[in-house]
Amino acid sequence: MPRRPAAIQASISDQGIPGEYTQPPDVDRTELKRALSTAIDQIDRNLDEYYDRFPEPSSENLVYSPTDNTDGWTTSFWTGLCWLAYEVTGDARYRRAAETQLETFERRLESGEVKTHDLGFLYTLSAVAGHRLTGNDRYRSAAITAADYLTDRFWEAPGLIQAWGDHEASEDFWERGRMIVDSMMNLPLLFWASEATGDPTYASIAETHARTNGQHIIRPDGSTFHTFKCDVVTGAPIGGETAQGYEANSCWSRGQTWAIYGYALAGDYTDEDEYVEIAAKLANYYLSKLENDHVPRWDFDAPPDQDIRDSSAAAISVCGLHELARQLPFADDRTRCYRNAALSTLESLATDYSTKDTESTGLLTDGAYDPSDGDYDECCIWGDYFYVEGLVRATQQWTQYW
C-alpha cells in the first residue's frame, strides 16, 4: 500500500455514496451511441466555421461566435472535439482541422501569450492529444514548452502553481500565491512531460501542488473552495475565496468536478491510492448534493432563488466518475456505484439537455459559465467537449488524452 502523505491523510473521510447509485441505471447503450453520432454530426456541421478559428467559451442564444487563439483558456476544447471525432470516425477531415488549429497553438507559444495556469487545458487537448494520435514530434515539443511555462508559475514555499495574473508583474501582486481548484486539471500536462522527457521535475511539481490543494482547497466535509491563497514567502495559508461560486464558503459545483477528475488522473499517473481516495471523497460529496436529474446547480449553497443548473459540471463529472471507477479495484463496491452515476448523468444530458433539433452550434444547453456575471443557460465549449468524451468513454475503447 503506497504511503499516504500525512497532511492529506487527515482530510479523508468514510462519507458514503448515495444509495440510488448501488443499482445499475436503466441506460440504453444504443441510445448513447446514437447521441455520440448526433454530436459528431454537429461537430461536422461546425467544422468549416471553426476550421482554423474557435468557438467562444460561451454561446449567445445557443450559438457560438468564432474567435482567434490569442488568449483565454478554452480554445483547446474545440480541438479536442476534432480529435475525438477523428478517432471515432477515422475521417481525416477532423485530423486536418485539428492539425491546422495546432499551428495557432504553436504561434501562441511563440508570441508569449501563455502566462496562465491553464496551459494544461490548452496544450493537453491540442498538442499532447495530437502527439498521442499522430506521433508528430512537433506536437511533443509544443507540449513540453507549455509544461516549461507552467512550471515557471510554481511557488516553492507554499508549494503551489499560481493561477491568475503574471506571477512576476508588480501590478498582479494581489494574485501571488493564489491557486484555484481548476488547476487540478492542468497537472496532467506536467505528469505527461515527465514521462515524455524522463525529467522527474515536472511530476514533482504536479504532486506538490496536488498535496497543497488537498491541504487547503478541500474542506473536511469533502466540499471545495474555488480559490485559496498562501503567502509566497513563508508558505502560510491566508484563506479561501471565490470568483465564480456564490460566496467564499460555498461549493461551486464545477470546481468540485474539476477536482474529482483531477485527483483521479493524479492517481492514474502516480499509482498512489491516496489521490484516488481523495477523488472518492470529493465524488461522494458531489453525488450527495445532486438534483434528481443528475445535473447540479451551479453552486450547491446558492439560495433557492438562484436555481441555475450547470450541464458543463455534469459533463465533467461523467468523465471524472468514470476515471475514478477505472482507478478503483473491480471488486470495490464503489467502482460500480461511480460507474452507475456516470451513466445516469450521461443519459440525462443526452435526453434532456441536448441541443438536437435546434439551430444551436453547441451540444448541451444550460451551461453556466459565470452566473455571478449573468452568464448562464447557454452552451459552454468545455461542457460540449466533456460530454463527447463521456459518450466515447461509455461506448468505445479509448486511450485518454489527459
- Find the catalytic residue in 26, 52, 71, 182: 182
**Three-class SS string for 37-94?**
HHHHHHHHHHCCCCCCCEECCECECCECCEECCCCCCCHHHHHHHHHHHHHHHCCHHH
* Contact yes or no for 157/177 (Cβ under 8 A): no
The answer to whether 182 is a known catalytic residue is yes
Residue 179 has φ and ψ, to the nearest 5°, of: -110, 155
Does an H or E element contain 160, and which? strand 160-161
Residue 173 in grid coordinates: 501582486
Angle at 385 between CA 339 and CA 365, to 5 degrees: 90
The answer to whether 172 is a known catalytic residue is no
Query: Rounded distance, CA 276 to CA 264, Å?
Result: 5
- Find the catalytic residue in 118, 299, 310, 384: 118
- The secondary structure of residue 154, as a DSSP letter, is E
Alpha helices by DSSP H, listed for 180-252, are 187-197, 201-216
| Catalytic residue annotation | 118, 182
